Amino acid sequence: GAVVSQHPSWVICKSGTSVKIECRSLDFQATTMFWYRQFPKQSLMLMATSNEGSKATYEQGVEKDKFLINHASLTLSTLTVTSAHPEDSSFYICSARETIRDTQYFGPGTRLTVL
């Protein structure tokens, strides 16, 4: 149980385009999902907390207009990187809070490469 999927696993796009990443909890409902960014050999940097049916809470320094988050259902949150630039290239990982064990389970991550 407690499986989180993420799609796509790898995306390459041109500078200026927008990219949508999906995060799904497959076998449990998640009222709260999280979006992280991870640079090579570094820790997980929390970008925002996504709450079902309400606006996301962004961490300091994260542009909410650039990283659009939508948590429209209890099993799906999306992150849209708008007008992507090469500096947005990174590994984006979502996680979902599973309330029985009260812990987070991570998706497999999405590698974004912006040319």
Partner 1 sequence: GENVEQHPSTLSVQEGDSAVIKCTYSDSASNYFPWYKQELGKRPQLIIDIRSNVGEKKDQRIAVTLNKTAKHFSLHITETQPEDSAVYFCAASNTGNQFYFGTGTSLTVIP
- Binding residues for partner 1, rule: CB under 8 A, are 4, 32, 34, 41-44, 46, 49, 93, 97, 99, 101-109, 111
Measured from the CB atom, the residue of 82 and 106 that comes closer to partner 1 is 106
Measured from the CB atom, the residue of 49 and 89 that comes closer to partner 1 is 49
Q: How far is the CB of 43 from partner 1 (least distance, A)?
A: 5
Measured from the CB atom, the residue of 46 and 76 that comes closer to partner 1 is 46
Residue 74 has, within 13 A of its CA and on its CB side, a CA count of 7
Helix/strand/coil (H, E, C) string of 15-65?
A: CCCCEEEEEEECCCCCCEEEEEEECCCCCEEEEEEEECCCCCEECCCCCCC
Q: How far is the CB of 103 from partner 1 (least distance, A)?
A: 6
Measured from the CB atom, the residue of 44 and 68 that comes closer to partner 1 is 44
Q: How far is the CB of 97 from partner 1 (least distance, A)?
A: 6
* 81 burial level (CB within 10 Å; 0-12, 13-18, 19+): buried
